[in-house]
Chains A and B, each alone.
Chain A
């Protein structure tokens, strides 16, 4: 999956529109993921995963920051997220299927808060971007 020039423009545009709210988007995406796909909670036995949890909010900020970092270095996501990629491969080992689930939830959050931004073309670009991020994070798994 290769991000075209217009994909990159679309993705940067989305994150520019979202601005500082992105941290809340991260938290809401996680909350929705836990509600919609309960098995994803198995990766957070040490968390309070109930809605509004401070731990989920904090973790949402981290997730959002990583997405922003990837968007800001969209020409080389692999380098930008290299440390995170190592972390997921060596320590976290989240099954690859779960990145799609979080990606779906992030798209839902964007759709809810910015329906006019999520045109079909932008939807396609953002979906590709989220896939690319997931691929990078699982690239060193084996």
Chain B
């Protein structure tokens, strides 16, 4: 069980309250596909991913990015219970989607960069540490049901 201090919970909630989930999600997924192009392997049916411009403008990327980050919002609401929260999604990513959990870590790192660029000075070292912990724990929960 992950322990969250009061300060960490506050840092998570206050930042999340200011996140535009649609924009941030779209950007995070687009950057994942651009910075780590091998992650495109999961998105053969997304159409044109041939260049950064194509990826950023791709409506399926935007939609899926929003979906992914919306799901992340569930983590923010259920910090004490992440494994249960992501149990079904974990099974899905293993059994149906066949996604190597390393990809969750990559997306987490990208999300941190997106948040840093967006919040700049407000993304203090304490904030970064807390959010890096959160993305790590989410990645772990999503990998938990793999077999």
Contacts and interface: CB of A to CB of B under 8 A. Distances in A.
Contacts, number: 60
Given A36-B132, A120-B52, 16 more contacts: A35-B128, A36-B129, A51-B125, A105-B128, A107-B116, A108-B128, A111-B114, A111-B116, A112-B121, A112-B123, A113-B120, A120-B55, A121-B52, A123-B35, A123-B113, A124-B35
A35 B125 CA distance: 6
B91 interface: no
A5 interface: no
Q: What is the predominant secondary structure among interface residues of chain A facing chain B?
A: helix
Nearest to B133: A36
B112 interface: yes
26 contacts: A32-B128, A32-B129, A35-B126, A36-B128, A36-B132, A36-B133, A51-B125, A104-B109, A104-B112, A105-B128, A108-B116, A108-B128, A111-B117, A112-B121, A112-B123, A113-B120, A115-B116, A115-B120, A118-B113, A119-B52, A120-B31, A120-B52, A121-B34, A121-B52, A123-B34, A123-B113
B56 interface: yes
Interface string A16-60: 000000000000000110011100000000000001000000000
Interface residues of A, number: 21
B125 A31 contact: yes
Contacts of A121: 34, 52
B118 interface: yes
B30 interface: yes
Interface string B21-58: 00000000011001100000000000000001001100
With most chain B CB atoms within 10 A of its CB, the pick from A35, A51, A118, A120 is A120
Nearest to A109: B116
Interface of B: 30-31, 34-35, 52, 55-56, 109, 112-114, 116-118, 120-121, 123, 125-126, 128-129, 132-133
Nearest to A121: B52
B35 to A, nearest CB: 4
